[in-house]
Amino acid sequence: MGLNLLRYNRYIVGLMLVVGSVPAAWSHPHSFIDMQTTLVHQGDNITGLRMRWVMDEITSADLLYDAADAKPGSVIWKKLAAEVMANVLGQHYFTEFWHQKQPVKFENLPPEYHLSRQGHQAVLEFVLPMAHPQPMKGQRFVFSTFDPTYFVDMYYDSEKSLKIPDELAKECHFELKTPKPDASMQAYALSLDKADAPAEEMDLGRQFAQTVTLVCQ
């Protein structure tokens, strides 16, 4: 891989993870992250969400190139993981979590995270920690993980990607809702290859974002 191409790929990966100012030509989804989430708890309180993000092969290419043949847990992997995680933290984990229509705050730093290889794909795993434990009994919570610009499509393949620990399986369950934006919204997102990037107030990514509801008895 030539130096210019390597820098280009790194730039794209940086944009994908930081999701800052994205050139219009790349505004509709060009990166994809397949997500899995597991509820983390202590007793009857939610303490966090364990997330697993599998990046598409093109997005993964630069990270895997840098990792080369490094062994899992090596200094190289730890350095790459720290870089990626810093970008995710800069975007508030790309996640909103709500209880009774009020936002739930997260801790600023995850208690654990790591980056690994799955074939030709990079996999980021981390625990998103709640700032304060959230009592679960008789409660309903709603959360979404998405890129506001819709440069990245962050999605759950199905409800099977949302996991409840066995000890809570009788008390809690997840519900996944996938939106169906109308034809004009879909056409607009696709047209962004030839038009300006979406205005922030449009919150384009939210229009396509899946919503997860956690219901506990």
The continuous run of DSSP H or E covering 140 comes out as: strand 140-145
DSSP-H helix ranges across 2-136: 3-18, 57-67, 75-89
Using pLDDT thresholds of 50, 70 and 90, give the confidence band for residue 197: low
Cβ atoms 59, 181 nearer than 8 A: no
Task: Indicate the angle between helix axes 3-18 and 75-89, nearest 10 degrees.
Answer: 50
pLDDT digits (tens, 9 = 90+) for 82-114: 999 999 999 999 999 999 999 999 999 999 999
Per-residue tokens: 37: 């989430």
CB-based burial label for 178 (10 Å; 0-12, 13-18, 19+): exposed
pLDDT digits (tens, 9 = 90+) for 24-39: 444 467 789 999 999 9
Mean pLDDT for all residues in the chain: 86
Please give the model's pTM, rounded to 2 decimal places. 0.84
Cα dist from 97 to 101, 194, 212, whole Å: 9, 34, 9
DSSP letter (8 states) at residue 212: E
- Measured in degrees and rounded to the nearest 5, phi and psi for residue 190 equal -70, -30
Residue found under tokens 């709640």 = 130
pLDDT digits (tens, 9 = 90+) for 136-185: 999 999 999 999 888 889 999 999 999 999 999 999 999 999 998 778 77
